[in-house]
Each structure stands twice: as structure tokens, then as C-alpha cells.
A and B are shown apart, each in its own frame.
Chain A
Amino acid sequence: MSAQSQTSRQLTFSEAIRDAIDVAMERDPKVYLMGLGVPDPIGVFGTTRGLHKKYGDNRVFDMPIAENAMTGVALGSCLVGMRPIMTHMRLEFAMTSIDQVCNQAAKWHYMFGGRSQVPMTLRMIVGRGWGQGPQHSQSLHAWFAHIPGLKVVMPSTPYDAKGLLIASIEDNSPVVFIEHRWLYNIHGPVPEGHYTVPLSQPRVVREGRDITIVALSYATLDAIKAARTLEADGIDSEVIDLRTLCPRDNTMILESVRKTGRLIVVDQGSMTGGFAGDIVSVVVENVFDALKTPPVRIALPDAPTPTTRSLSNYFYPQPASIVAAARRALGRPYDADPFVGIDPSDKTLDVPDKSFTGPF
């Protein structure tokens, strides 16, 4: 974090992604970037803007609408020494490449006895709001985390986005790097040049002694907002941002729960078979005796994402959901239904919260 505190340069999350790719490409001629829309003027929500001009057709290029084969092509290029970055504008499009990702890339190094490696970074963008609906919004990190051999990374700050993405590109294993679109416009300090954030360490965003709130990606913002509300109520919460889902060092999470005795996990994926359950399991198995109250999962209901805001306003947990769970765990009065009072036609819940864009 020293580099972070020393810099005054502020970038948005999307600019930090772009910066990371630029730094990695400049340092290593084997790194290349492909994906639908990568070279176009919009540049995948700005995350690839200008890179085509700087690096040319041979290193930044568009591809056929053939995600499965193109992931295989990326893998094949790894076998002769290249380091591809593949970009999917929506995670759902990457689902047509599951064979190449899960059967091939994830296992290649292990199943060939370590004789070759697949240093491939798969950027997958997840979204929310404005009616993204059933097929433009899914955060399926739990799927990928379930496949041994893949690393799964989900940053929430511009600083981490850059450091984790450079680390992912430089890593010799396939990395699924999941970016939440609602984070693209938040800003924070991002140093110039090269730095990495290790792929295994969660981060304590906020120290506290009463309750541990573990979150990932955009859910971390909700957790921070909830922590501020709770602070006003005299509840001191500790917020941990997972950053890397796997491989993951759980020490920090277990230490935190040993201290607070209470756990809430906030996930942006669905509940059943989800990642929140994984974190709860690790805590229950390891520090059961430290728990003063049952752990709580806050995740999406087990339903496809509805398109209309009158339903999606109830689909996504709110900071109020976290506040209610924390108050309950601490024996305070709480809202049994944190959605009470929400206006189903409210347009502000359908777009990123402009009242909070950083810095962290």
C-alpha cells in the first residue's frame, strides 16, 4: 500500500485497467490483447482505448464471434510462448468457451505433467442495472472458482484493478479476471508505471471489532456504505475485500472473525452453490468456537435477473440489507425486510450510485 499512499494521481477503475494493459504490453512483447470491440473507438468501456493506436494490429485486434475457438487459439498461442489477454464485454459470451477454459486451459499444465503452461488472462465484464436482464448481468465467479487450475480475480478499487491485472498478465496460469461495470467510474489513487498486487491476499478495507463483513467486487462498495451507516449507530464493522477468490489465503478472514465473532458475506452472485457459502464454510470449519452468532450470507435470490426495474430493485441486495443483518447479529432492532420503503419505479437504484464514486 505504500505505493498507493505515495501517489496523488487519480484514475477511474476503467482507466486503471487500461493503464495495466498498457504497462504489461510495454514491458513484454509477448503480451497481446484480443476481443470483440477491443480496437474500436469506444474501446470496451474505455478499458482498451488508444491501445490499438499505440501497439498496432498485430498486438491489439478484433476477433470473430467465436469465443470457444478464439479461447483455444489464445491457448495454442501460449504453447509457443505468447501471453494473451482476452476480453469479453459480457461474461455470458465467455460461457460459449467453457470447454476451452475449464477442460483445456485450467488443466493443461497439470495434465501434461507441467511440461507446458497457459499464461492467459480472460477479462470478463459483469454488469447490472438499466435492464441488463437475464443474460447481461451474471456474476459467475463461483463457477470458475470451482475449477482447479484457474485463478479468479475480482478487484474493487482502481489501485487493485491495475496491480491485480498486471499480476494476472504476468502469472503463468490462466486467470479469470472479473470486472464489474458499476465500478468503472469510481476513482482512486493509481501510481504510474509497473506494480503488482499479489494474487492470493484479501485486503482489510476498514478495521473494526464488532462484526466482519467479507465482500467482493462491487459488493465491497455496498459493504463500505453499510459500514458507514453502522458506524453512526455505534457498530464498528471490519470490511474485507476478497480481491482474489482462488487461490486464496484465508488467514486474514479467520483472524478477523476470531476478533469480531460475527460474519456477514456479501456476494454479487446467486445464493445456492455460491461463493458466500464457501467463505461461510471456511469460517465455520476453522473458527466455529469464535462465532457468537450464526454467519449470514447476503447474495442474489435464486432467480434469473429480471429486466424491469420494478423487480430488479428488489433483486439486488442494498446496503440496507447488510445494515439489517449486522444489527440483527448484534442484537439491535433491525428491519426484517430491508426493501420496505423502496419505490419499485425508482430509477436511481437502476444505475450506479453517484453519491459515492471514491476515492477509497
Chain B
Amino acid sequence: MNKISTQLRTAEHSLDADTRRALFRSMLKVRLIEERIQALYPEGDMRCPTHLSLGQEAAASGVCLALQPQDYVISAHRSHAHYIARGGSIRSMFAELYGKSDGCASGKGGSMHLIDLSVNFLGCVPIVGSTMPIGVGAAFGAMMQNQKGFISVVFFGDGAAETGVFHESINFAAARRLPVLFICENNLYSVNTPLEPRQPMNRTIADLTRGHGIEASQHDGQEVETVYSAARDVIERVRSGSGPALLEFMTYRWAEHCGPLPDVHLGYRSQEEFDSWLARCPILLHRRVLQAAKLLDEASETRMRAELDREVDDAVDFARNSPFPDRSQLLQGVYA
């Protein structure tokens, strides 16, 4: 495992009860949706490569709940959590996974091309690193039009920090002091390859980023209140014009790189490592915190689950009943 700062920053938690419960609800929503996809995917009707966010709910929820409606968000291949936490339409998401005409990309994109402009979720693409400059460009274009008080958030993984475009994007954002928040979810693996052959073990991605002269720090990505607090503080600075910043959240993927199945048996990661991260499930950790603070009990969680399950049921029904795109759509939209 690569270097993790000896003291992962744990921000001061001074969150109000509603925010703390909302963080739990957001993570639970991601979890239930991803588990539903896991259950349905083997039926073979969702026919697109699908990268589940299971285990990584905290970074997405903590960051997205600290945003404001005018902020832009863009993501990469493992984007479900970001789309859901940002408030993207769940009906449109399921319809997209089923390749239906009511999908958020009319069935032409699939899991790797989610978009919901009603919540400024600009899109996501699976070419690693590719959305980093696009998120920077959204900030740049909005600045050119004198938009004020917004930020642009780019979600990506540890693999993207190995690309050239990572540096090109941060360099330009720094040179122009653009209001961009780079969020690196470091889940230790790129597909099935651990960090060690890919990155030097004596520095973090946050360390690397500070070479560009911008604020960057590494945090625990499993404690959602830590994520939220770190994001909230940095967002305030980025929003007020202090230039771009990067947050690196250490986290862990539960399912296989792409698809619904477990993969520890493949041997590229150890059962011991997997179990240690499972014990730090972000929902489990936050449940303990909320229960200790008397903000959540079994009954209220059960009610929350039931509500979310109904929402997911509705989305799946909607998606299954949506028609496939008509043949006439094949050559529609090649050009705008």
C-alpha cells in the first residue's frame, strides 16, 4: 500500500444533526442502488460495463453534500455514487443501464456515460484522466462569462494521477486560479493492479499535487464526516477565489473492477486486506457515530431503507417499462 500520511487529517466535526443524517441517507441510497444492480445485473438485461461504487460511498456523499446547486460535477468510469449523491435522477440512471430511450443519455451511453444537467452533473467517461481538463474547462468557461460563486468538482481515481493530463489540467487550473476541486478517490487498485508497480511508495498523490503549488491533502475516505468537513473547508476557500485544490481520500472497492461479482479469490488482493477494509465500511462507521449521538436508531434506519427501496423499485420498474430507442435514433445526434 502506498504511503498514507501518518496522521490522516481528521477534521473537527461540528455538523448539525440534519447534515449528519443526510450523509447517512446518501450513502445508504448509493449502497442500495448498487446492491440492486448487483442483484439484477446477472439477468443480462443491463448490457453495459458497470463499475460499482460499493465501499466508496463516503467520498461521494461527503463531497456532494457539501456542494451548492450552482456547482458543476464531472466524473469517470466509477461514477454511480457521484451521480446519485449529486441528486441525479435514479429513474434515468436505471433506464440508461437498461439501454432504454428514457435513459439519461437516451440509452446511447450506459453506465459509463451518466449525465444529469438538471443537477449540473456534466457527464462521466471511462478514459482515465479524460474528464479532468473538461471539468477545468467548465470552470474556465463559466469564469469567462462572469459566473460567480460556483466551483467545479472533478472526481477521479488513483490511476488518473499517473496520466499526463492530470498534470496538464492542474497546471492550467493553478495558472488561472480556477475554482476547481479535484477529488481523488484512492482505492489502491487500477483494475487489478496495486499501486506499487504504478507509483512510488514514498509519496502520496496529495504530495505530488502540492508540487503544482496548490493546496492538497490526504484524508480517511471511509469516515463520511471527515470527508464532509474536509470538503466543506476546502470548498469555502476554492469558492472564495483562492484557486484550485485537491483532496485525496483513501478508500477501497468491494466488488470486482467492472461487474457485480466479488473477486478476492483471484488473488491480486488478500482476504486479510479485504476484511480490514470491510470492517471499515463507511455506512457501518457512520451508523455507530449516529447511534452514539442518538441521531439514528434501528426503527428510523428501517424506515429510511424502506423509503429508499421504494424509490429504487420505482426506478427499476420505470426502466423496465421504458421503450428501447427506435431504430430511427441510430444516426440521430451524430452532429449537433
Contacts and interface: CB of A to CB of B under 8 A. Distances in A.
Interface of A: 30, 32, 58, 63-64, 66, 68-82, 99-100, 103-104, 108-119, 148-149, 151, 172-173, 247
B95 to A, nearest CB: 11
Interface in B167-210: 168-169, 171-172, 175
Contact of B127 (A104, A109, A110, A247): A104
Contact of A80 (B103, B104, B145, B164): B145
Contacts of A30: 145
B332 interface: yes
Interface in B40-62: none
B93 to A, nearest CB: 13
A66 B163 CA distance: 13
B23 interface: no
B135 interface: yes
Interface of B: 72, 74, 103-109, 113, 115, 117, 122-123, 125, 127, 130-142, 144-145, 147, 152, 164-165, 168-169, 171-172, 175, 332-336
B115 A82 contact: no
Contact of A77 (B106, B138, B171, B332): B138
Contacts of A74: 137
B144 A70 contact: no
Given A82-B144, A104-B134, A114 B332 contact: yes
Nearest to B171: A64
A70 B134 CA distance: 9
A72 B130 contact: yes
Q: Give the top 5 A-B pairs by smallest Cβ distance, nearest first.
A: A76-B137, A72-B133, A77-B141, A113-B106, A69-B168
A126 B148 CA distance: 40
A79 B122 contact: yes
B123 A116 contact: yes
B145 A82 contact: yes
A194 B125 CA distance: 37
Contact of A112 (B123, B136, B335): B123
Contacts of B106: 113-114
Nearest to A77: B141
A93 to B, nearest CB: 13
A109 B336 CA distance: 6
Contacts of A104: 125, 127, 130, 134
Nearest to A103: B127
Nearest to B106: A113
Nearest to B332: A114
B105 A73 contact: no
27 contacts: A64-B168, A64-B172, A68-B168, A69-B172, A72-B136, A72-B137, A73-B134, A73-B140, A76-B74, A76-B137, A76-B138, A76-B152, A77-B137, A79-B138, A81-B145, A99-B165, A104-B127, A104-B130, A111-B109, A112-B109, A113-B103, A114-B332, A114-B333, A116-B122, A173-B335, A173-B336, A247-B335
Given A66-B172, A73-B172, A172-B336, 15 more contacts: A64-B171, A64-B172, A66-B165, A68-B164, A69-B136, A70-B168, A72-B133, A76-B134, A79-B122, A79-B134, A81-B141, A99-B165, A104-B134, A113-B108, A148-B334
B104 A73 contact: no
Contact of B133 (A80, A100, A116): A100
A109 B133 contact: no
A200 to B, nearest CB: 10
Contact of A71 (B74, B103, B133): B133
Contacts of B332: 114
A68 B145 CA distance: 23
A132 B100 CA distance: 51
B103 A79 contact: no
A75 B333 contact: no
A104 B131 CA distance: 9
A32 B144 contact: yes
Contact of B333 (A78, A80, A110, A151): A110
A99 B164 CA distance: 12
Contact of B137 (A79, A99, A113, A172): A79
A63 B175 CA distance: 10
A101 to B, nearest CB: 11
Contacts of B122: 76, 79, 116
A109 B109 CA distance: 10
Contacts of A114: 106, 332-333, 336
A122 B231 CA distance: 36
B168 A66 contact: yes
A245 B251 CA distance: 48
